[in-house]
């Protein structure tokens, strides 16, 4: 447990008070830089997509390449060790190289992975998910989150014979052209022709979109709560989900929950259960197999026939080893009540960080679920102060991003939290010193 001083800040495990010099950030990234220069010669962007260095500002504070991971930590190619608060952007939930999950994966690999027929593990995993998730009557497997958010919209169209999808502005569902923000390179205006974007938490906007498109809306897709990048997360307002559910049922619109990011960090039965509503389809991915590649769409019995009408598949979608890993991961999360543990650890992490910030005269705001919180220093609306602080923490061994929500795992320990608070303390001293100088 953290020890508190009178300011409420966790006591530094070593060192002195707010007035003394910060321990210097010692991390440097020469090998990361060299590898990136090689990558840029042969790979567009060097590193693309969500692992691109672009949003990690200041860029000098971050490594680009990781060498290995263990538990809640990873090591970069320069040998720097990080307590990882990004968890591979969500997939790592039980800790890197978890022995139970890895053994399940390896055992299946020894038997066979991508074979000419589907595997027994596929049936077992579908049965497990149908038992685990109350609304689910069936499960369908793919690889990435975007595979199943796309499939969900196809099922909605097959079920209704309608064309339009309502989505939340600023929501992220993957990289299919219609999921990207209009104007992105490689997409065209027509990609968005059947997508209507409305504001989060706005039932009137949903009613308006339905009224303006009579008989045209196939599905509504949203995350369980709103977690955009570069902005605070937003919880559903009072009665929001109940009103949305009633409206969609009345209009015969398929209700899709994208649980790719929140899934298994709020509860194991679907994050909708946490908020008390029932969708028709739920998309899972990220944490489903502790890092092994698999995603799942689960749906109600009523949609099973329509799901079976849609042709949708991929070369590796039947790989048995990630299915074995998913089964082991879910069983382990259930055995240790993983979501409860991550919410508790996240709550303590945040309380400690907020208190450390306060002891240095800063206001650190946390939004979203404690198991995947978005943190932001409110003292500077431009985010630059927050970027500096996250960078100072990262260069001392607590890997924080400033643009994206963080992720907790069941592998984060009390020792990790104490070390993180110590690092945060030094980082606040450093940004005060930098700004003064
Ligand atoms: C909420 C949400 N939906 C869908 C996706 C897409 O998942 P993937 O990148 O595996 O296709 C993501 C990825 O970050 C996500 O956060």
Collapsed DSSP state (helix, strand, coil) of residue 365: strand
User: Does 223 contact ligand 1 (Cβ within 6 A)?
Assistant: yes
User: Does 261 contact ligand 1 (Cβ within 6 A)?
Assistant: yes
Fold of 30-96+338-436: 3.90.1150
User: Does 233 contact ligand 1 (Cβ within 6 A)?
Assistant: no
Distance CA 341, CA 94 (A): 11
User: Does 258 contact ligand 1 (Cβ within 6 A)?
Assistant: yes
- DSSP for 385-434, please give it: HHHHHHHHHHTTTEE--SSS-----TT--HHHHHHHHHHHHHHHHHHHHH
* Closest C-alpha to ligand 1, atom 13: 174
User: Does 280 contact ligand 1 (Cβ within 6 A)?
Assistant: no
Ligand 1 nearest atom to the CA of residue 223, by list position: 1
Which sequence spans correspond to the domains of the chain?
30-96+338-436, 112-335
* Closest C-alpha to ligand 1, atom 4: 173
User: Does 149 contact ligand 1 (Cβ within 6 A)?
Assistant: yes
CATH 3.40.640.10 fits 112-335, yes or no: yes
- Residue 399's DSSP bridge partners are 84
Task: Give tens-digit pLDDT for 139-181.
Answer: 999 999 999 999 999 999 999 999 999 999 999 999 999 999 8
Cβ-based burial of 356 (10 A; exposed 0-12, middle 13-18, buried ≥19) = buried
| pLDDT at residue 25 in the model | 82
Q: What is the pTM of this model?
A: 0.96
Task: Give tens-digit pLDDT for 81-137.
Answer: 999 999 999 999 999 999 999 999 999 999 999 999 999 999 999 999 999 999 999
User: Does 146 contact ligand 1 (Cβ within 6 A)?
Assistant: yes
Q: In a mutational test of the pocket of ligand 1, which residue from 55, 173, 368, 401 has the highest number of ligand atoms less than 8 Å from its CB?
A: 173
User: Does 172 contact ligand 1 (Cβ within 6 A)?
Assistant: yes
* Mean per-residue pLDDT over the chain, rounded: 95
Ligand 1 nearest atom to the CA of residue 175, by list position: 11
């Amino acid at each position: 447990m953290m020890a508190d001083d009178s300011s409420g800040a966790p006591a530094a495990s070593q060192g002195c008070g707010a007035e003394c010099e910060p321990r210097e950030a010692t991390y440097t990234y020469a090998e990361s830089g060299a590898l990136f220069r090689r990558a840029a010669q042969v790979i567009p962007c060097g590193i693309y997509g969500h692992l691109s260095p672009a949003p990690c500002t200041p860029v000098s504070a971050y490594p680009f390449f990781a060498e290995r991971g263990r538990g809640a930590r990873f090591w970069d190619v320069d040998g720097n060790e990080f307590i990882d608060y990004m968890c591979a952007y969500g997939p790592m939930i039980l800790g890197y190289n978890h022995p139970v999950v890895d053994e399940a994966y390896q055992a299946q690999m020894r038997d066979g992975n991508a074979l000419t027929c589907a595997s027994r593990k596929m049936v077992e995993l579908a049965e497990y998910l149908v038992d685990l998730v109350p609304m689910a009557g069936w499960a369908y497997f793919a690889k990435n989150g975007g595979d199943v958010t796309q499939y969900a919209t196809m099922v909605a169209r097959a079920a209704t014979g309608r064309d339009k999808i309502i989505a939340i502005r600023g929501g992220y569902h993957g990289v299919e052209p219609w999921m990207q923000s209009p104007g992105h390179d490689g997409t065209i205006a027509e990609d968005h022709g059947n997508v209507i974007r409305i504001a989060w938490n706005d039932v009137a906007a949903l009613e308006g979109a339905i009224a303006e498109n009579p008989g045209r809306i196939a599905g509504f897709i949203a995350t369980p709560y709103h977690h955009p990048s570069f902005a605070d997360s937003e919880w559903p307002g009072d009665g929001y989900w109940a009103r949305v559910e009633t409206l969609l049922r009345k209009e015969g619109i398929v209700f899709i929950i994208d649980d790719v990011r929140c899934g298994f960090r709020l509860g194991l039965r679907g994050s909708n259960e946490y908020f008390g509503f029932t969708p028709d389809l739920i998309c899972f991915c990220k944490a489903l197999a502790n890092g092994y590649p698999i995603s799942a769409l689960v749906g109600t019995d009523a949609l099973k026939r329509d799901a079976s009408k849609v042709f949708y598949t991929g070369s590796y979608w039947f790989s048995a080893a990630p299915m074995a890993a998913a089964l082991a991961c879910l069983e382990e999360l259930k055995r240790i009540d993983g979501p409860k543990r991550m919410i508790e650890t996240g709550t303590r992490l945040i309380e400690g960080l907020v208190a450390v910030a306060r002891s240095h005269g800063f206001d650190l705001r946390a939004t979203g679920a404690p198991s995947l919180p978005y943190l932001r220093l409110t003292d500077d609306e431009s985010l630059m102060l927050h970027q500096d602080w996250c960078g100072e923490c990262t260069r001392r061994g607590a890997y924080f991003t400033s643009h994206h929500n963080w992720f907790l795992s069941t592998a984060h320990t009390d020792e990790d939290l104490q070390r993180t608070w110590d690092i945060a303390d030094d980082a606040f001293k450093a940004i005060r010193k930098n700004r003064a100088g």
